[in-house]
Amino acid sequence: MYDMGLVVALLQLNPKVGDLEGNAAEVERAVALAAENGADMAITSELIISGYPPRDLLLDPEFVVRCAEVTANIETPIPLIVGTPLPPTADRHLPSNGTMRLVPGRKAKVATRKQLLPTYDVFDELRYFEPDKAPGILRLSDNLSIGVTICEDAWQHAGEVPADYDADPIEQLAAWQHQGEPLALSVNLSSSPYHLHKEGMRGDVVRAASKTLGHPYLLCNQVGGNDDLLFDGRSLVAWPDGRLAQAPAWCMGVFLVDIEDSNSGRWLPWPAGECCDECSCDVETIAAGSDPKNPETGIDLLAAITTGLGDYCRKSGIKQLVIAMSGGLDSSVCAAIACRTVGPENVLGLAMPSRYSSDHSLSDAKATAEALGMELHTHSISELHDAAEAELSDELADGNPVALENIQSRLRGMMIMALANSRNAMAITTGNKSELAMGYCTLYGDMVGGYAPLGDLYKTEVYAVAHAINSEAERFGDKAPITESTLTKPPSAELAPDQLDQDTLPPYKILDSILESHIESGASASTLIDLGHDEKMVGWILKRLHDNEHKRWQMPPAPRVSNRAFGQGWRQPLAAKK
């Protein structure tokens, strides 16, 4: 029906939650670019107009009506399918997570509504949306009908959901085809959050759909960060024989593909001509039977958390960052991330030595700041520390000695926040997931800040990111920002003489292995012991993990990079559990 095969554009964009007009304008510009480059039709990601996740904005009926209106007014030179919240179909119903069809010269029309509403982990769609029951069939023209699904709609078919749904929208499309009119292709508008090594899972989902349907299955994903959620892009297309074509990660662009040619994928960076340094910006073609290339862990995580902090700042209007630098691994990596996102000229480091600080604390922090080209100020906490101890000496004499350690951390927190407040800047929290899990951190001390770039990375992953930062600098001929000393010295909080993390915690390699099995895969104590871990250590770690829930309740948002954070989508209950 089309000479060259139908060319579809997947608009891989980065919407800002709540900015309806801005998001719509971005869609207009991207679809114009797609049309100029030969696209016959285009699709966006899920809920591109509201941005994902819109959360409680959806509780305002006026907001939902505005989303549909703004969508209907989008101008497009080619047929376009746009993801947007839609007003309820009946009185006393919830809105829908749906799509509208825009065709030049015709009136905008509601196309389909999402059937499977994920309500687990970071998802909570049954709070906000009514599930639909109708198969997603869309007649675009006399000779072109397609299947339209939205994100989760495709995951049941691949068995990649934690509990089964009653319906399978892919089977519905297949049944429709058996009854008569064939579909040329099916599309999936997604806002599929990132976690490390999710590529293979998404590949399975689109392959299963394409195989069942016997036609190409095209998935357009959101990219960028909104609040604590990250989206990696990696829009992708599957053909019935198992071939895949995948768009780049972590950048915006238009992914053009001729559905009759799996080698036809083209990537148009967006805004036009600009592209990031991190990605090669090529479409990856994957043979049947092969999986998408797993990116190197450190490199992918570096891109992920840079995207998270960068979008958080840009979308919230934050222009300057302040960061406490101890010369340790976490703060050095955070400083490097901060410089990548707002530029080194907008990052202020603060070294705050105390009587327990080692010499390398300051020298490592200075070397890192210098390599990054950022400012570093030094303010000792010694006088404040002495004054606090003098004022409180009677109170603390016979108490828990942790009080004295925490005073230092909290004085530093006070100073960091003073500089942030004074400059209208945001302070960054430098803690990682391993120490947050163990509560090996000070509430209102090193936990202060508006965003925790490493809050969902285990310590061993922070090392991988550090190496990726250094490799990148070396590739560009720059000095490696994370010093050899920082990378090799034993981690220490330096809140007591000669204190080392490993005096209190198990070695990070063991700790992280146990935490990861328990948190990400749900391994129980007995499973962990069966895996060969020491029984006493397992008990100690799990108890400490539980006992520190109250600290995590008050932590700032952290970009989600793992399969499971600390129930950050849905906060964990507090202490009352036995």
In terms of CB distance, is 122 or 337 closer to a second copy?
Answer: 122
Q: E strands along 87-228, which residues?
A: 96-102, 109-113, 137-141, 144-150, 186-190, 217-221, 223-226
Q: Per CB under 8 A, which region of 31-39, 190-198, 385-393, 465-473 contacts a second copy?
A: 385-393
Question: Tokens 């030049």 correspond to what residue?
Answer: 104
Name the active-site residue from 46, 199, 461, 494: 46
Quick one: three-class SS letters along 347-385? EEEEECCCCCCCHHHHHHHHHHHHHHCCEEEECCCHHHH
Residue 234 DSSP symbol: -
- The least distance separating a second copy from the CB of residue 550, rounded to whole angstroms, comes to 6
Q: Are 189 and 99 in contact (CB under 8 A)?
A: yes
Residues between 466 and 505 that touch a second copy (CB under 8 A): none
Tokens of 462: 């922070």
Interface with a second copy includes 120 (CB under 8 A)?
Answer: yes
Name the active-site residue from 114, 315, 433, 551: 114
Phi/psi of residue 435, nearest 5 degrees:
-75, -35
The question of whether 151 is a catalytic residue gets the answer yes
- Residues in contact with a second copy, counted by CB under 8 A, come to a total of 88
Work out which of 4, 175, 287, 402 binds a second copy, going by CB under 8 A: 402
Work out which of 141, 263, 290, 421 binds a second copy, going by CB under 8 A: 421
The question of whether 114 is a catalytic residue gets the answer yes
- CA-closest candidate to residue 328, choices 99, 136, 141, 488: 488
Phi/psi of residue 441, nearest 5 degrees:
-170, 165
Q: Per CB under 8 A, which region of 72-80, 224-232, 241-249, 456-464 contacts a second copy?
A: 224-232
Work out which of 395, 488, 490, 498 binds a second copy, going by CB under 8 A: 395
Interface map 446-465 toward a second copy (x if CB under 8 A): --x-x---------------
- The least distance separating a second copy from the CB of residue 407, rounded to whole angstroms, comes to 5
- CA-closest candidate to residue 329, choices 429, 430, 451, 404: 430
Beta strand 347-351 pairing with 321-324: parallel
Contacts of 557 by beta carbon, 8 Å cutoff, 6+ apart? 227, 228, 312, 451, 452, 455, 568
Q: Are 335 and 372 in contact (CB under 8 A)?
A: yes
Interface with a second copy includes 287 (CB under 8 A)?
Answer: no
- The least distance separating a second copy from the CB of residue 387, rounded to whole angstroms, comes to 5
473 C-beta neighbours (distance < 10 Å), count? 17
Residues between 20 and 49 that touch a second copy (CB under 8 A): 20, 22
Residues between 124 and 153 that touch a second copy (CB under 8 A): 124, 126-127, 130
The question of whether 46 is a catalytic residue gets the answer yes
End-to-end CA distance of the chain: 66
100 SS3 class: strand
100 C-beta neighbours (distance < 10 Å), count? 22
In terms of CB distance, is 447 or 468 closer to a second copy?
Answer: 447
Interface with a second copy includes 406 (CB under 8 A)?
Answer: yes
Cis preceding-peptide flag for 88 (omega within 30 of 0): no
Looking at the DSSP bridge assignments, the partners of residue 85 are: 97
Residues between 305 and 334 that touch a second copy (CB under 8 A): 311-312, 315-317
Work out which of 175, 403, 500, 531 binds a second copy, going by CB under 8 A: 403
Residues between 150 and 209 that touch a second copy (CB under 8 A): 163-164
Interface map 343-372 toward a second copy (x if CB under 8 A): ------------------------------
In terms of CB distance, is 272 or 387 closer to a second copy?
Answer: 387
Interface map 80-119 toward a second copy (x if CB under 8 A): --------x---xxx------------------------x
Work out which of 36, 524, 531, 539 binds a second copy, going by CB under 8 A: 524
- The least distance separating a second copy from the CB of residue 453, rounded to whole angstroms, comes to 14
- The least distance separating a second copy from the CB of residue 559, rounded to whole angstroms, comes to 12
Name the active-site residue from 26, 67, 125, 151: 151
Phi/psi of residue 258, nearest 5 degrees:
-85, 120
Q: Are 221 and 45 in contact (CB under 8 A)?
A: yes
- The least distance separating a second copy from the CB of residue 253, rounded to whole angstroms, comes to 21
Work out which of 3, 179, 277, 576 binds a second copy, going by CB under 8 A: 576
Residues between 48 and 87 that touch a second copy (CB under 8 A): 51, 53-57, 59-60, 62
Q: In which region does residue 437 sit, left (phi positive, over 0), alpha (psi from -120 to 50) or beta (all else)?
A: alpha
Q: Per CB under 8 A, which region of 64-72, 141-149, 232-240, 564-572 contacts a second copy?
A: 564-572
Tokens of 437: 């899990």
* Residues tagged active-site: 46, 114, 151
